């Protein structure tokens, strides 16, 4: 059985990853596949030259000559190639070159938009080599798009075969260039996508119970808009309006409108219609969607590593520099004034605040006992370095690493001044350019005064 290396290559002339093939089966229009196929005329692999030990005899030599002639006579005419190869197969029905010839016939038939012939030869390939997973997925695609009811049933069987194959692979089968984490994630995506395809086939067979099971498992493996939308449609069909609302809201949160997924505009119409049926009007729908959006994306997002979980005061925290990940111990700032700006890449007011924050930082640049840090709070840390490369801020940028949690930062930007004992001496949520620089400078001066050192009453808001 072939190894499962997360990227399953078809032998010439068609090459796709398993995920790509499954996605094509579910979402891309027929012409897209034809456009993706390689343009040169596919060439079946030439037979091995005759030797004293291998394939000697006039019959084998004549077969090789006939195959080469069939290809040469077709030149670059795909229709002629199909005709010539089929004539060859009629003359040599048990040819050892059948797998390569079938592949050439599948591709040429797709280019000619002769989809029934493409289905026929792709299934012949499956019969010859059931363990060729890439070709099996291609056959599923063709049957899903161009098949009939018996074809849908065969496609369900093929889907189940590939799912079993994916289930029984282990990390020992992965490519050494693929990390265990990436291999596991890709395996989940493959299975989730296959279940979407099989679920859609069940729907075409009017087997909604099995379709629902597949969509539910697909969503559990990898939360996705397509599975949620289809679960919503099934719930709506069953008059289960509350479930339909929940699933449409999940789809609304997850969709990006690509790969054939419904747009937010279309999903907005669907959820609005069901909400009105359930509640008589759209009152409350906005709040529900916002809550569902936050909950769905939080559940779908990969878990962030917990940093500084035992931090009880700022000096317990070790933060990371955005530039290189090196640690910054806040305990080293004991006895100093620490000025913090909590921000995120998506926050417009944070961008407006930054030059004002930098201006105040410049005023204290010659005072080593006043330290300024810009603490990033993005969920997706990969967004931060490109953002900083574009914006080029002058303040030292660190990841908040849980300090935002300790200080209960729940809006951006938030500016905090810690006095020499690590207590909050000043805090402002949001940004008002009018008077910001003066308020922050005054707060730093107050925090620097010995009389305020360590006093809880020193915390002020402008």
pLDDT, tens digit, 9 for 90 and up, residues 234-258: 999 999 999 999 999 999 999 987 7
Name the DSSP letter for residue 378: -
State the pLDDT confidence band at 170, using cuts at 50, 70 and 90.
confident
Q: What is the pLDDT of residue 175?
A: 77
Which residue matches tokens 């995920």? Answer: 19
Q: Which of 72, 71, 96 is nearest to 86 (CA)?
A: 71
pLDDT, tens digit, 9 for 90 and up, residues 385-406: 999 999 888 899 999 999 999 9
Structurally, at CATH architecture level, domain 314-458 sits in 3-Layer(aba) Sandwich (3.40)
Distance CA 72, CA 108 (A): 15
Distance CA 200, CA 223 (A): 17
Q: What is the pLDDT of residue 327?
A: 95
Q: Which of 21, 50, 194 is nearest to 122 (CA)?
A: 21
Q: What is the pLDDT of residue 56?
A: 52
Q: Which of 170, 174, 166, 110 is nearest to 139 (CA)?
A: 110
**Are 399 and 320 within 8 A, CB to CB?**
yes
The size of the chain, in residues, is 462
Q: What is the pLDDT of residue 391?
A: 86
Q: How many CA atoms lie within 13 A of 282 on its CB side?
A: 8
Q: Give whichever of 23-27, 380-384, 416-420 has the largest mean pLDDT.
A: 416-420
Does 456 score more than 50 pLDDT?
A: no
What are the extents of the domains in the chain?
A: 314-458
pLDDT, tens digit, 9 for 90 and up, residues 70-85: 999 998 899 999 999 9
**Helices (H) and strands (E) in the chain — how many of each?**
18, 7
Q: At what angle do helices 78-91 and 58-74 cross, to 10 degrees?
A: 160
Distance CA 460, CA 107 (A): 73
What is the token pair recorded at 292?
């569902």
Backbone angles phi, psi at 7, to 5 degrees: -115, 110
Average pLDDT over residues 149-177: 90
Q: Residue 189, Cβ neighbours under 10 Å: how many?
A: 18
**Helices in 258-383 by DSSP H: which ranges?**
264-279, 285-300, 348-363
Does 33 score more than 70 pLDDT?
A: no
**Are 425 and 460 within 8 A, CB to CB?**
yes
Does 299 score more than 80 pLDDT?
A: yes
What is the token pair recorded at 179?
């990390």
What is the token pair recorded at 286?
């906005």
pLDDT, tens digit, 9 for 90 and up, residues 321-363: 999 999 999 999 999 999 999 999 999 999 999 999 999 999 9
**Percent of the chain at pLDDT above 90?**
69
Least confident of 145-149, 239-243, 374-378, 454-458: 454-458
Mean pLDDT score across all residues of the chain: 85
């Amino acid at each position: 059985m072939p190894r499962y290396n997360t990227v399953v290559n078809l032998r010439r002339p068609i090459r796709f990853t398993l995920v790509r093939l499954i996605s094509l089966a579910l979402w891309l229009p027929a012409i897209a596949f034809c456009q993706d196929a390689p343009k040169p005329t596919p060439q079946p692999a030439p037979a091995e030259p005759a030797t004293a030990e291998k394939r000697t005899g006039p019959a084998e030599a004549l077969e090789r000559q006939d195959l080469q002639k069939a290809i040469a006579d077709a030149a670059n005419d795909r229709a002629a190639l199909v005709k010539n190869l089929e004539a060859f197969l009629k003359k040599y029905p048990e040819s050892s070159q059948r797998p390569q010839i079938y592949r050439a016939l599948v591709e040429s038939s797709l280019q000619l938009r002769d989809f029934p012939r493409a289905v026929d030869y792709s299934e012949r390939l499956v019969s010859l080599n059931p363990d060729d997973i890439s070709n099996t997925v291609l056959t599923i695609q063709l049957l899903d798009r161009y098949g009939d009811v018996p074809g849908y049933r065969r496609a369900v069987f093929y889907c189940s075969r590939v799912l079993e194959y994916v289930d029984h692979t282990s990390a020992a089968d992965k490519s050494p260039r693929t990390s265990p984490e990436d291999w596991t994630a890709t395996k989940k995506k493959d299975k989730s996508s296959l279940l979407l395809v099989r679920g859609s086939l069940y729907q075409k067979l009017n087997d909604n119970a099995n379709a629902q099971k597949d969509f539910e498992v697909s969503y559990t493996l990898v939360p996705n808009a397509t599975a949620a939308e289809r679960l919503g449609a099934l719930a709506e069909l069953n008059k289960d309006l509350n479930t339909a609302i929940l699933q449409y809201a999940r789809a609304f949160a997850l969709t990006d409108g690509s790969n054939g997924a419904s747009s937010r505009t279309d999903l907005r119409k669907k959820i609005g219609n069901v909400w009105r049926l359930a509640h008589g009007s759209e009152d409350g729908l906005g709040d529900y969607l916002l809550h569902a959006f936050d909950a769905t994306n939080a559940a779908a997002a990969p878990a962030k590593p917990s940093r500084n979980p035992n931090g009880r005061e700022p000096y317990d925290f070790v933060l990371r520099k955005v530039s290189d990940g090196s640690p910054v111990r806040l305990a080293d700032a004991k006895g100093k004034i620490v000025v913090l700006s909590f921000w995120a890449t998506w926050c417009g007011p944070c961008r407006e605040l930054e030059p004002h924050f930098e201006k105040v930082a410049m005023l204290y640049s010659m005072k080593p006992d006043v330290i300024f840090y810009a603490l990033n709070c993005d969920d997706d840390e990969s967004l931060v370095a490109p953002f900083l490369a574009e914006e080029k801020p002058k303040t030292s940028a660190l990841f908040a690493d849980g300090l935002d949690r300790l200080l209960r930062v729940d809006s951006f930007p938030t500016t905090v001044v810690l006095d020499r004992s690590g207590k909050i001496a000043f805090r402002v949520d949001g940004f008002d350019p009018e008077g910001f620089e003066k308020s922050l400078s005054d707060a730093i001066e107050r925090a620097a005064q010995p009389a305020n050192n360590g006093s809880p009453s020193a915390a002020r808001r402008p």
